Amino acid sequence: MKRILTIFAAIVLAGVSASAQDSNYREKASHFYVNTEFNLTGADFQGWGKPDFGSYGFTVSPGYRFNPHWAVFVPVNVDVLLLNRQSTKNFVEQGTLGLGGSYTLTMKDHKALEFVVSGNSTYIKSDLNYFKAKAAVKLGFHGLGGTPYLGIGCSYLSPYGNVANDKLMLEINFGFTIF
pLDDT of residue 102: 94
| Least confidently predicted of 7-16, 57-66, 71-80, 92-101 | 7-16
pLDDT of residue 48: 52
Q: What percent of the chain has pLDDT over 70?
A: 70
**How do beta strands 51-65 and 130-141 pair?**
unpaired
Mean pLDDT score of the chain: 78
Query: Residue 10: CB partners within 8 Å, gap ≥ 6?
Result: none
Is the distance from CB of 104 to CB of 68 less than 8 angstroms?
yes
More confident residue, 47 or 30: 30
Please, which pLDDT band fits residue 54 given cuts at 50, 70 and 90?
Answer: confident
With residue 179 as reference, give the H or E element that holds it.
Answer: none
| Least confidently predicted of 12-21, 71-80, 137-146 | 12-21
| Rounded average pLDDT over 121-135 | 86
